[in-house]
Amino acid sequence: MFARTSDPIVAVATAPGRGAVGIVRVSGPDLAPLIEALCARQLKPREATYLPFRDAAGAPIDHGLAIHFPAPHSFTGEDVLELQAHGGPVVLQLLVARCLEAADEIAGTGAAPRLRGLRVA
């Protein structure tokens, strides 16, 4: 079944394989709760912030740069969260998995029901 084009998406935005830096992007409506879940704080718009990316228990998955591009001032016109982490495939897949996990947790609380459709692009 195809997702609606309005559903939020998460994807690795860099080429497959190893690299110094890898990027994971999330695009969709109302990403504030997801940003809080991954970064343990809100981010200043369009400002790169160095911080740990957190798992569900609050332990760091990796450290890197997070940038929030609020709608409509992003390249998709929606809220965009860009996570720039170490470029190994395992780290990037852990970040994608955490985004999906956090979206399910948030949607279950009713805080951001539109995150329920978060899918891997």
Per-domain boundaries in the chain: 9-120
Per the prediction, the chain carries an average pLDDT of 88
Q: What is the pTM of this model?
A: 0.86
Higher pLDDT, 30 or 108: 30
90, 22, 56, 41: CA torsion to nearest 10: 170
pLDDT, position 112: 58
The CATH number of 9-120, from 3.30.1360.120, 3.40.718.10, 3.50.50.60, 2.40.50.100, is: 3.30.1360.120
What's the CA gap between 22 and 9, in Å, rounded? Answer: 17
pLDDT, position 6: 64
What lies within 8 Å, CB to CB, of 12 at 6+ separation is 22, 23, 24, 92, 93, 96
pLDDT in tens, 67-104: 999 999 998 899 999 999 999 999 999 999 999 999 88
pLDDT in tens, 47-71: 999 999 999 999 999 999 999 999 9
Higher pLDDT, 121 or 48: 48
